[in-house]
Structure 1
Amino acid sequence: MTHAPTEPATLPIPDDADGAPRRVGVEVELGGLTESQVVHIGADLFGGEIDQTGAYTYTLRDSAIGDVEVMLDTAFRDHAGGALAKAGLDVGRAVIPVEFVTEPLLPQTLGDIDRFCDALAEAGATGTQDGMLLGFGMHLNIAAAGRRAEDILPVLRAFALAEDGLRARTPIDPSRRLLPFVDPYPPRLLDALAAPDSADWDAGQMIDAYLHHAPSRNYALDMLPLFRDLDSDRVTAAIKGSESIKPRPAYHYRLPDARVDDPDWSVSGEWATWCEIEALAAQPDAVERLAAAWRRYRDRLVPIPGRWSGLSAEILAEEEVLQ
């Protein structure tokens, strides 16, 4: 099984404010293989040295794609110390997620991650669609183009207003609907982001609106690591326990499906969707058209549930931003 080869998409703003290429870290969850199998397949593809750093954790060091961490899903790893627990892990390998995590990569190297996924699938790795309980996801950590509100706010507004249209285009696997992090942004956040003056917010106003309306990590675009990097005190004062959120100057884009054994799915394809979101953010007229449509939708006496996904998808198609 081989994913269709594609040249990774290009960001509309490929460099950060210092002129360095923007990078993306990749996290992919899968089933059917052990951590040892995954890391050895990585070494066969990319070279490097394998370092076992714990009972269920490995690091592939100095490979052709840099360092790659491979580990049992944290929720299971933290409770896998006893003999009985280990026996349960062996029985449940098909449904217990193993994940690999790359260092920040240049986008043009994402084809190598697709090759890695292909090799894992050939060895028996499974993805979300193989069963109702296989809730495997993928995360992209995309370096922000800058640290100013004018760098970040357009992307947040574009994503929030386009999210339902994106979900209509690529329905979420039913198994992921049972899990919390696939929740869409709440309507009250969209109300704030679609307000006529929201495009002119400063960083404090942007962060405050997010913390007030969406103080959680359980969304497809988790802004809290980036906001902690921008203004840590503001975030920790607003959200109890947020000290554990690692500050990072990057968008945390949480994809609800990782279908490593599906030939129609690829990391490069999901990356292309993110590039489309940033392309939309770079077209303020299109974003404002979405914002105005959202305000009209919310002004209805009784907004029709589900209608916004169709309305937003129509606008995105007409604007020819998302393919």
Structure 2
Amino acid sequence: MTLHFQELPAPVTVDGAERHIGVEVEFADLNEEQAAYILSETLGGTAERVKDNDWKVTGSSLGDIQVYLDTVYRTADKSVLRDLGLKLGREVIPVELVTDPLSLGQLGELNRALGALKEAGAKGSGDGWYYGFGVHLNVEIVEETPASVLKPLLAYALIEDWMREARPIEATRTVLPWTDAYPTALVEELILLGTEPSDRALVETYTRHCPDRNRGLDMLPIFKALWPDILVDSIGADKVDGISGRPTYHFRLPDSRIDEDAWSLETEWNRWLLVEQVAAKDDLLTELSDAWLEKHGAITLSRQPWAERSGDILSKHGLA
């Protein structure tokens, strides 16, 4: 299959450097060692055990790739309880691969490696009722200013209902609290922030409604990287300590459908591409914002009418 990962509307940072994308992919039915060796055979480099069951592929064509069981037990002190937790967790907890920041041109190579994992038996979200597995894209920001950071956030908030309706994620992931939708009160407050919010207003507005990581678009890593003191004031030092700060949009909405023939990483890239295409059009953002305020009253009983209305607006602009 020939893939074409379309360039973002703003492909470089304000400094002129190419924007990079870190990728995390969850899957089951291969253990960490098996996955690491398959990745090294496909991409080059050396598969090596880092600690216990944590593996790493070093020196591949995509740089270093971490492979580990996605559970808090893996970083706990070794004990009988910790080992039991890991053993039992393998029935429901995915193995996760985490790449270094990649260029857009390297995403096709990663997709080829995911195909090799599929051929070896890796399973995705749809293979079990408890498999709520995802693909996370960590997309580098354009500029370290509140105004620049806000635009894709607002774009996502305005079209999230349509994305969930038109391109549904796996049912398991809608039930489990890992990719909760933004509260409608947050969407309204993001609109009312205007185009030039202060860093404190942006962080406090978001965290007032979303103080946790379990959202389709998780903004806390950006806030930790750029405005850590404000984030501490907003959600507390204990929560902030557990966040890996990085100047990237942590896009958690996409499914991992690694075992499905019709699926590719490009499918999930196109979800984020749409967000940035909306963010790049000031007239479209304004139209969506005005329509959202007109459509929503004090109480929102159903999100479907806005999903349909925002979809109509996207279609008018050639983006649905």
Equivalent residue for 1:246, pick from 231, 244, 247: 244
What are structure 2's unaligned runs of at least 5 residues? Answer: none
Counterpart of 2:3? Answer: 6
Equivalent residue for 1:280, pick from 278, 281, 286: 278
Counterpart of 1:56? Answer: 53
Equivalent residue for 1:228, pick from 203, 224, 233: 224
Counterpart of 1:69? Answer: 66
Compute the displacement of 1:194 (Å): 2.3
Compute the displacement of 1:232 (Å): 0.6
Cα deviation digits, residues 113-162 of structure 1 (max 9, x gap): 11111111110110000111111111111110110123211111111001
1:1-323 matches, cutoff 5 A:
4-78=1-75, 81=78, 93=90, 95-195=92-192, 198-240=194-236, 241=238, 242-299=240-297, 304-322=302-320
Larger RCO (CA within 8 A; separation ≥ 6): 1
TM-score, normalised by the number of residues in structure 1 = 0.92
Amino acid at match of 2:44: G
2: CA distance, partners of 1:96 / 1:263: 23
2: CA distance, partners of 1:176 / 1:302: 22
Amino acid at match of 1:128: S
Compute the displacement of 1:24 (Å): 0.3
SS of residue matched to 2:275 = helix
Cα deviation digits, residues 231-272 of structure 1 (max 9, x gap): 110001110222221221111111341010112222122112
2: CA distance, partners of 1:33 / 1:15: 36
SS of residue matched to 2:195 = helix
Q: Aligned-pair RMSD on alpha carbons?
A: 2.1
2: CA distance, partners of 1:91 / 1:26: 26
Amino acid at match of 1:143: E
Indicate conservation of the 8 Å contact 1:27/1:100, yes or no: yes
Compute the displacement of 1:66 (Å): 0.4
Indicate conservation of the 8 Å contact 2:74/2:86, yes or no: no
**Taking structure 1 as reference, are residues 243 and 76 closer, same or farther at Cα in structure 2, changes over 3 Å only?**
closer
**Taking structure 1 as reference, are residues 46 and 293 closer, same or farther at Cα in structure 2, changes over 3 Å only?**
same
**Taking structure 1 as reference, are residues 301 and 53 closer, same or farther at Cα in structure 2, changes over 3 Å only?**
closer
2: CA distance, partners of 1:245 / 1:237: 15
Indicate conservation of the 8 Å contact 2:215/2:253, yes or no: no
2: CA distance, partners of 1:154 / 1:40: 40
**Taking structure 1 as reference, are residues 228 and 83 closer, same or farther at Cα in structure 2, changes over 3 Å only?**
closer
Cα deviation digits, residues 37-63 of structure 1 (max 9, x gap): 100001111111222111111111011
TM-score, normalised by the number of residues in structure 2 = 0.92
Compute the displacement of 1:300 (Å): 7.2
Compute the displacement of 1:318 (Å): 1.4
SS of residue matched to 2:105 = helix
**170-179 vs 29-38, greater mean Cα deviation:** 170-179
Indicate conservation of the 8 Å contact 2:254/2:268, yes or no: no
SS of residue matched to 2:252 = strand
Compute the displacement of 1:110 (Å): 0.4
What are structure 1's unaligned runs of at least 5 residues? Answer: none
Percent sequence identity over matched residues? 37
